[in-house]
Structures are given as C-alpha cells and as structure tokens.
Structure 1
C-alpha cells in the first residue's frame, strides 16, 4: 500500500497574497507533493494550507514552507483574531494511508528538531508527538501566544522541546512553531428535519464527549451543579473524540448538528452518524442527511460502506467504488448537493495525477495494445490479467452465494471469501502494470552509455539488476495466482451450484496464469549470471506449476461431478 500523509500548516499571514503564494510555491516545488487547499482569513490574518503526498516528500515540503514563512513574515508586526505564536504557528502531520499515527509522530519530532537546528526557530511538539502529557494539548504549548515568548524561553519548564535559547531578535521575528501529529479530523454536519437550534444543540450535547452541565431538578432550567473549585460538573456525552454544537443554516433552512471528529479510530464517521440518528429519534427528530466539510480519507468511507453492508448481511467483497457508494447513500452525503468522491476523498485527489496504466484501459483497448508491434504488454502482463480474471470469477461466485435465497445464515462465510478474492484480484491487477514496468527497465539499460570500461561495468550491473527484477515480478504473479486456488475450490465445493462452471473457468484461468508467468521466469532467469539465484527462482516456479496443474485437475473434477 502506498504511504500517504497530509500536512496542514497554519501560517500567520492571511492578507498579503504575494507572501502566501511564495510560501505555497515553495511547498509545491517538492516533487511528489500535491497542494489541495489554500484558505486565507482576513480577520484572523492566517492561512491554512493543506497538502498531501508520501511522507518524505511532505516533510521536506513542510520544512521549505516554514523556511519561506520565516523569511517573509515578521511576527513583531502581526495582528489577527486567531491565537498564534509564530510565523508558522502550527504544523500537524496526519496519517492518510499505509502509515500509523505513531510513525507520523516520529516524523514530526525529527522535523521539529530540524526546524530548530537549521532555521533557529524554537519548536514545541504537541498532540501525538508530545514528549509530556501536558503538551499534547496545543493550548498548553501556545499559552500566552507570541507575546509570552520572552517569559517562556526564560524558564526551563516552559521552554520549547527543541531550539531553547534566550529571547533574541531572531525569535522576535519568527516566533515559535508547534509541530505535531494527529489523526485525520473530519468536519461533518448532520442535517435535521427541524429549524430549531435549541433542539439541535440538545442532540449535540447528548453525543459530544464534553457533554452538558449537570443541573439540579429540571435538566434545562435547574441550577448548575458545581464542584469544590466552583467549576460546572459535566455529564459526558456518548461519543469520545467528538466536539459538537447545534446551529441553524439559513442557506438550507434547516438546523444541523455540527461536529468535529478528532480521532476517527476512536469514533468513526458511521458510528457518529448512527449515534446522532439515535439521539435525534429520542427527541422526535430525524437525521435527513450528512454534509462533509472539506476533505475525507478514503478509509472513513470504506469502513462506513462495509459497516452498512454488514448490517444488511450483504457481502463486503465488492468493488471499492460500490462500497463508497453504499456509504454515500446510507448516510445521505448527497442530501444537500451532489457528493463527488473524486473531489472529496484525499486519495482520489492524489490518483487524479497518476498516469493511466494498462489496467485503466478498456478490454478492447488492452487487447489492441497487446496486439500492436510494441513488445509490451507481453506474456507476463497477460498472465497476471488471467490470474486477476480467475480470482474475479471466484469472487463473483462468492458474492452470488452470499446473496442466495435460503442461504442467509451463510452470508458472512461467503463475504469473507469475496473479501479475499478482492485482495488477490487487486494484487494481480497491480502486477499487470508491474510486469510491463520490469520489461521497460531492461529496455532503459540498453540506452545507457558504454564508451568506457566504467560505463560498461555500470551498464552490465544495471542489466543484471533489471533482469533479476524482471524474473522476480512474474514469480510474484505465480504466487498471487496460486493463492486464488483455495477460493475457486471452495466455490466449486460449497458455492451456488448454478455458478459451479464459473468456478471451473476460474481454475482454468488461474492455472494458465501460473504456467504463463513461469515461462517468463525461465526466459528472464536465463540472462542471470548468478546461477544459484536463477535456479532457485526457476525451481520455485516449476514447483508451483506442478501444484497448480494438480489443483486445476481436482477442481475440474468437482465441477464435472456437480454439473453431472
């Protein structure tokens, strides 16, 4: 899985577009980073920037943005409505895909140290990157804001985590920066069939983590209960990591529960939706739909789609697009306006810049490209595609079986098989393009210079490296295709009997994928100078070919018996 993180730095300039553009240009200059949003605020004199990419690229872009801000923004002249303590005020890293919050925290700490060492900007680490429990809270790190920095830098207890030194002209200009890591924050509004802000607020207080003040007697007008220190005693709501209020939106002429989900691992979107629905129903109201503010990570929608499918006892082993569509319809994300995943989902925005591969072609286009005079795609890519089709047929039988009338008690059994089939199919489709990439690497070696002995040696080494890779890729295809045999065997034995022939065709396709990929292993291994490595690769391929022929024979025997 590709590793993707998001960065949302807040810069203390929201009025001078030239300064903002120079900062964002420095961020965009880093290859592999995509700028998603730039949101300047006049009153706050602050700009929130959102960009995403692979971790190393995002960290580098963040550093360059901080460097540019330090050069262009003088905090001695800054005025704005929003709390702030530096030219780059806060800098959170957020895991999106293929990376954990803990890994983002480690990246944040290294980035904070680099900012302090190279740019001489004091840095505090907050949220998941904090070194102490107190500093997990950004408000603690930023206490007193920019104006309090001379006092904070003078005391060890309030000094920054990196870059501690007496207050000087440099700090006066740049201020300090808080670098952290947090989970993705989803801003979401739940639409209600009422215009009452009071009732919307009541629902918000029911569910938000903070809850509402406890009262004596009447829960609305009774005297607020206070503790010994004179602070209100709160009755917590039902959802952790949730902040919420109620409001009325004149544009839509409805009230909403407006919510921030600050930890979607603790409280996923679909859990919040169901709980707001429950709380609304208890007060005689209905949730009519959901509005996502800003962007959302794909996993939030996939988890929601799978959740609602499971509630219906339907198979979750379907295409990702259909799972996302289930989430959209189940939560009414298109209630107020069309919800376009390609514009709202972080990963889909990234994929929009990805070059199309063979698997993005139509069936007809793929066939025509294969038949052209170009040597790629060749047998390796075709073998991977045959394997994907074999896994797809097994998955189809699993989905048909999961929804078969009278088999309702077995839906989860077949759904699990379909999930496995989707994983194998995705891996084999990825290998369609990887096999062609392996061939292209070999072709690229032939364009390397060979005028000197050094160049010849480098060319020879590169050719061996590319040849080894071109041998390993079809072996990965063999392994992935062979792993689909248990799926089609189970569907031949236990699946919908009306589709047993489809399981049989799946076995034929998988065996063909294994045998075809094995031919590519052998022809590429012949070019390896390391004969021990070559023999090992070929040996594994031949073993799996023999086993795949046995698997195919046994599965076809099951199919014939079921048909007859």
Structure 2
C-alpha cells in the first residue's frame, strides 16, 4: 500500500472470544484491510483492534466493524473497568503513510455520518475531528459513561451528539469517532491489590493534574490478576516517552512502598518509542536503531533493490537523451548536454546526502548537528536542481530555434526529472527542520528551501509551456 491509514477501534467486549473474532472477520472482509493486532482484556472487558487500510477502504472496514459490534454487544449487560459509552466505544483514524491529518479528519466525519445513517448509532467527534472545542479530549466526551449519558443526553443540550438524535442507541450506545496522531496505550502493574494506591499514582503522574504533560492515566484493580494497574495513554510519545511514564509511576509507587510487577503495551507501538526506552535504560551513546542487525540488513537490502530497479527509468532517460544529443552535431545540443551533466550532479548530491545522514546516525552524531548537516546538503541539492533547470531552459530555447522540436521535447524531459529531484530534496529539508529544537534555524531552512523550490517550479513551468506551444 502506497497510502496507509491506521484505525484502532475499541470494543466493549474482552471476554467472549467468538464475539471478538467475528468483529475481526468483519474488518478483514474488506479488500485491503489488514488486522495487525488484537488486544483483549477481561478485567477491562474491552478489546483494542489495530488494522490498516488505504484511505479508499478504511471507512468501509470501520463501519462494518461497528455494525458487527452493534449486533453482538449489549451495553445494558456489559460490565468492566474501562469507561465506555458505546459497544464500539472509539474509532480513531491515524495517518501512517502518505496521508495527511486533514484527510483523516475527513475520513472520520465520513465514518461518523455512515454510522448514524446506516446503523442509527449517534456519533460524537473528538481529537482533531472534534466539531466543538470542549470535545477535543476523549475523557470529556465519555464522562459519566453509558449509564449516565443515556439520561443526560435527553435533557442537557451540551451532551447532545454531533450527529444523530439526542438519544443513545438502546444496546449499542454511542460511538466516538476521531482523527489523531499515533498514541501509545501503556499499563504498569503494581504489587498491590489496592486500587486507591493505583488511583493516587495515576493522579500524580497524569498531565491534567500537574504530572507529565502528554500523559493520561487512571488507576484500577485487576481482579483476575489480584493486583492494581495504572492504565496510561501517551498522546505524544516523543515528548512524554515510555521511560518517562514508567519512571514516574515507579517513583510514585515507592512513596507507598509498592514495587512494580511489570508493564504492557496495548496494541502496537512505534519502533522509535522502544529505541528511546532502550537508549535510556542502557545508557547507550549511539542511536539504538543503528545498532540493530536486522534493521541494518533490511535497510541494506532495500537500498540494493532500489538501486537495482528504482533508478532505471532515470538512468534510461538520461542515456536516451545522451544518444540523441550525440547524433546532433549542432552546437545547439551543447547546452542540453551541460544540463544532463548538472542533472547528474543533483542525483549524486541527493545520494551523498542519504549516505552522509546514514553515516552520522551510525556513528552517533548529536541529533541537532546531524539534522542541520543533512538539511544543508539537501539545500545544495535543490540549488543544483535549479541550476540544471536554468541550463535546460536555455537548451530548449536554442533547440527550438534550430528547428529541432523533437530533441527539444526530449531535453524538456530533463526539466521534469530535475524538478522531481528538487521536490524530494525540499521535502527532506522540511522534515529535518520540523525536528530541530532551534526554531530560528529551522525557519531559515524552510524559507531557503521554499525560495529555491519556487524558482525550480517557475522554471519547470516555463519549459513545459514552451514545449507544449511548439507542439501545438
């Protein structure tokens, strides 16, 4: 899949395996939907299903899952530790690959409309898809749970759903649909069966009560395990990391003379989050991912395969152009040949940038310095692309003057390649700038990259216009 959306619906059922399997089957019945993980918890009586799909089919898979849950789950008979207002309690859409947050917001709104229109389940929108500021936080939407909300929704306009009647579905309740970044659900188990200790620890570590900013937490007692649990959501795992959350719970637990029994991740977790935790606990002086054999091997194989297959169209294009230019003895072909040489320089610069970035990561160069080094190399790539485009523009003009229209069209192809390379390099600069702590320098990089890219786009547009006018 070139474009991937992650969807992580939570269902109010964690004990009946057959029910969970039927919901999973409903998701998998949609072409392109892949279920990656199913986490069922009997104490919470809740299941978290993680699946991915292209944006074209992810809503269909989500709606089928909600429909299945409506058929199989009756909230009037449901009990469990976790707060909930629906048989399908939450349905978040998360951008993973080549999909924007804005697109996920549209997908969430589309899913919400279908859930009401087709299933008569009222819908609330949260996080980035929220239609009201007071519904951004999930806990604000879900406050009171199914039992209280089904009464309040009839009398309190502030609790009315975003889509649907001011009345919860009799058995399926309501559904909370949203769009959000990647979230990590992380639980720490305590060597005590006192839920009050877990609750006090949760209050101490969570952001809304003065703890870690991007951390949400609740305390429970797990009857099946005979111990208490601090259940947490890390809403920005890069700012509040797994080890930050674990250490905060551990320190608070020590105040009550309670030891940590273990921890668990609910659903899936980005590799970067585990790398950060490994670096912290092991006091690594190099980037953890750079030391992983399997990762290095996979990267090397991908690079080998891309070199074997990916650049062929570019290499073929350049060689074809060279052959045609060699056949033309006119001096008018000289500038086009120069453009090809400059295009080669752009490609070589981009390849060098990738190698340099990989080398700096491998030898543990300080993060900020590595980002700046890569950004500077990428800016040089854009500058070279602009130079190649300027030379190509002159070449196309001269070839058209020499009545070499076909050759001018072939030379114009150089512009499209150079512009594509400039676009790739600009994206790299913007990505590096987004991760810099030095915002002033980051803004300088963004401004320079956008300025150069604008020049590249304008020149490429002029070349395209010239070649099209000649054909007409």
User: Is the structural similarity TM-score above 0.5?
Assistant: yes
Return the offset for 1:340. Answer: 8.0
Q: Deviations over 1:141-172 (max 9, x none)?
A: 345544446534533513222111567xxx32
Return the offset for 1:324. Answer: 3.1
TM-score by length of 1: 0.47
Whether the 8 Å CA contact 1:130–1:136 is kept in 2: the answer is yes
Return the offset for 1:264. Answer: 0.8
Distance 1:205 1:86, change over 3 A: closer
Return the offset for 1:302. Answer: 8.5
Distance 1:188 1:262, change over 3 A: closer
| Aligned position for 2:350 | 391
| Aligned position for 1:159 | 160
- 1:269 and 2:211 matched: no
Q: Point out where structure 2 has 5 or more consecutive residues left out of the alignment.
A: 221-228, 320-339, 382-409, 427-462
- 1:48 and 2:48 matched: yes
Q: Deviations over 1:86-117 (max 9, x none)?
A: 33222222344555555534432332122112
Return the offset for 1:60. Answer: 2.3
2:174 to 170, 173, 176: 176
Distance 1:300 1:89, change over 3 A: same
Whether the 8 Å CA contact 2:59–2:110 is kept in 1: the answer is no
1:260 to 209, 213, 232: 232
Tell me, in whole angstroms, the C-alpha distance in 2 between the residues paired with 1:397 and 1:271: 30
| Aligned position for 2:120 | 120
Whether the 8 Å CA contact 2:12–2:87 is kept in 1: the answer is yes
**Aligned pairs, how many?**
368
Tell me, in whole angstroms, the C-alpha distance in 1 between the residues paired with 2:411 and 2:19: 51
CA RMSD of aligned residues (A): 6.1
Tell me, in whole angstroms, the C-alpha distance in 2 between the residues paired with 1:278 and 1:15: 30
- 1:78 and 2:77 matched: yes
- 1:14 and 2:17 matched: no
Tell me, in whole angstroms, the C-alpha distance in 2 between the residues paired with 1:302 and 1:476: 39
Whether the 8 Å CA contact 1:123–1:177 is kept in 2: the answer is yes
Whether the 8 Å CA contact 1:4–1:95 is kept in 2: the answer is yes
| Aligned position for 1:429 | none
Return the offset for 1:379. Answer: 1.5
| Aligned position for 1:297 | 270
| Aligned position for 2:305 | 361
- 1:379 and 2:316 matched: yes
Whether the 8 Å CA contact 1:242–1:267 is kept in 2: the answer is no
Q: Deviations over 1:257-312 (max 9, x none)?
A: 977353217824289379869989xx9xxx9x9986642235657999999xxx97
Please show how residues 371-520 of structure 1 align to structure 2 within 5 Å: 379-380=316-317, 390-393=349-352, 396=355, 416-419=372-375, 421=377, 475-479=415-419
Tell me, in whole angstroms, the C-alpha distance in 1 between the residues paired with 2:304 and 2:263: 32
Q: Deviations over 1:181-204 (max 9, x none)?
A: 33322245799xx99x9x999998
Whether the 8 Å CA contact 1:186–1:261 is kept in 2: the answer is yes
Tell me, in whole angstroms, the C-alpha distance in 2 between the residues paired with 1:190 and 1:19: 27
Whether the 8 Å CA contact 1:85–1:142 is kept in 2: the answer is yes
2:468 to 496, 508, 533: 533
Question: Structure 1: which 4+ aligned runs deviate by more than 6 Å?
Answer: 199-206, 277-280, 301-307, 339-342, 375-378, 381-387, 397-404, 410-414, 422-425, 470-474, 482-486
- 1:25 and 2:9 matched: no
Tell me, in whole angstroms, the C-alpha distance in 1 between the residues paired with 2:367 and 2:12: 55
| Aligned position for 2:90 | 90
Whether the 8 Å CA contact 1:125–1:179 is kept in 2: the answer is yes
Please show how residues 174-253 of structure 1 align to structure 2 within 5 Å: 174-188=172-186, 208-210=206-208, 236-237=210-211, 239-243=212-216
Q: Deviations over 1:420-474 (max 9, x none)?
A: 658999xxxxxxxxxxxxxxxxxxxxxxxxxxxxxxxxxxxxxxxxxxxx99987
- 1:69 and 2:59 matched: no
